[in-house]
């Protein structure tokens, strides 16, 4: 499949999906999201594939979230794909593909990029990785899986800290809060991910599928919250308050939300 923004490779039962936008810390634009959905769908239906590894190109970032240079009043630019950014479908496909998805976090997992690894079944992190959310700083939020499901993983207090304060956490700190399964030296990350994938390939695919669906069932109601949250986000992106966040990031200046406090 010809892709512009991602790399897609299938070998020995493992599909590897790599966001390939190193210049912008692997931030995703509308086209990137479409291509990720297409790759995950292909891995879903290819019966030779048992595990997906999801990573970012280079050694700086897994994914820095939505491409803020494409964000204006009303949301992300539609020109790269001809329609609005469909992050919700991407979230659902990572959750629902009936095969384990391993995130190999090779650097920053920030904002919407952090949500992507949170949704994966397993997260392996390079010791150089950094984790965090930025929404309240750049005028955005993920009030669905990105927050409610995160709270299931790290607990309510920690999830609120992560979202409200927009801090960055080291790989070791992420491991301590149960946000990653293992931290390894950066140079060995992909070998480690392939080793975990090969271990999974020895297991019953049907048992893994039903276990994944069983784990998902307990948090499935968050899908409804995500519908609401993405609709709310579309409205929020039309406000001056949300624009102040993205403009401050793009203009490299401190953000000033003071006039929106009411
Ligand atoms: C990721 C981070 C912490 C990296 O910092 P650093 O210092 O290593 O790199 P720098 O200089 O900030 O970034 C390098 C280049 O990448 C671009 C920058 O603008 C810069 O470009 P140049 O100056 O070299 O031209 N870049 C990085 N992230 C970008 C992005 N997201 N969009 C466009 N360009 C980006 C630091 O870069 C950072 O904090 N990035 C922003 C993270 C962020 O706020 N992401 C969006 C959150 S909202 C979201 O993802 C979302 C959502 O909430 C709901 C639905 C869908 C999406």
Q: What is the pLDDT of residue 79?
A: 83
pLDDT at residue 3 in the model: 98
Task: Tell the residue nearest (CA) to atom 34 of ligand 1.
Answer: 24
> Is residue 112 a contact partner of residue 146, using CB atoms and an 8 Å limit?
yes
CA distances from 214 to 57, 95, 98, 99, 219 (A): 32, 11, 11, 13, 9
Q: Which residue intervals of the chain are DSSP H helices? A: 30-45, 87-96, 112-119, 135-138, 150-154, 156-165, 171-176, 189-201, 205-217, 222-236, 240-250
Is residue 1 over pLDDT 80? no
The average confidence (pLDDT) of the chain is 97
Asked if residue 32 has pLDDT above 80, the reply is yes
pLDDT of residue 252: 96
Ligand 1 pocket (Cβ < 6 Å) reads 24-25, 27, 64-69, 87, 108, 110-112, 134-135, 138, 140-142, 233
Whether the predicted model's global pTM rises above the 0.85 cut: yes
Strands 61-63 and 130-132: unpaired
Q: Model confidence over 76-128: pLDDT tens digits?
A: 888 888 888 999 999 999 999 999 999 999 999 999 999 999 999 999 999 99
Ligand 1 centre distance from Cα of residue 139 (Å): 13
Nearest CA to ligand 1 atom 17: 24
Nearest CA to ligand 1 atom 6: 25
pLDDT of residue 77: 85
Instruction: pLDDT band for 75, please (50, 70, 90 cuts).
Output: confident
- In which band, very low, low, confident or very high, does the pLDDT at 72 lie, cut at 50, 70 and 90? confident
Please tell me what DSSP assigns to residue 66.
B
């Amino acid at each position: 499949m010809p892709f512009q923004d991602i790399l897609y490779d299938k070998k020995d039962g493992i599909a590897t999906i790599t966001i390939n936008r190193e210049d912008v810390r692997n931030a995703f634009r509308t086209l990137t999201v479409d291509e990720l959905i297409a790759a995950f769908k292909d891995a879903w239906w290819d019966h030779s594939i048992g595990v997906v590894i999801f990573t970012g190109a280079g050694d700086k970032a897994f994914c820095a979230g939505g491409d803020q240079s494409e964000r204006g009043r009303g949301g992300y630019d539609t020109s790269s794909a001809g329609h609005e950014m469909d992050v919700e479908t991407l979230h659902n496909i990572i959750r629902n593909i009936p095969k384990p998805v391993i995130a190999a976090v090779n650097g920053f997992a920030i904002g919407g990029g952090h949500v992507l690894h949170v949704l994966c079944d397993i997260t392996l992190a390079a010791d150089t990785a950094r984790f965090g959310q930025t929404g309240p700083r750049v005028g955005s939020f993920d009030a669905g899986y990105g927050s409610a499901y995160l709270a299931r993983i790290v607990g309510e207090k920690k999830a609120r800290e992560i979202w409200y304060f927009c801090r960055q956490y080291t790989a070791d700190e992420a491991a301590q809060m149960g946000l990653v399964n293992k931290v390894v030296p950066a140079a060995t990350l992909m070998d480690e991910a392939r080793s975990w994938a090969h271990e999974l390939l020895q297991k019953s695919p049907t048992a893994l599928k039903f276990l994944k669906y069983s784990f998902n069932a307990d948090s499935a109601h968050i899908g409804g919250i995500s519908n609401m949250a993405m609709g709310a986000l579309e409205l929020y992106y039309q406000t001056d308050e949300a624009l102040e966040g993205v403009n401050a990031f793009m203009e490299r200046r401190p953000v000033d939300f003071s006039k929106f406090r009411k």
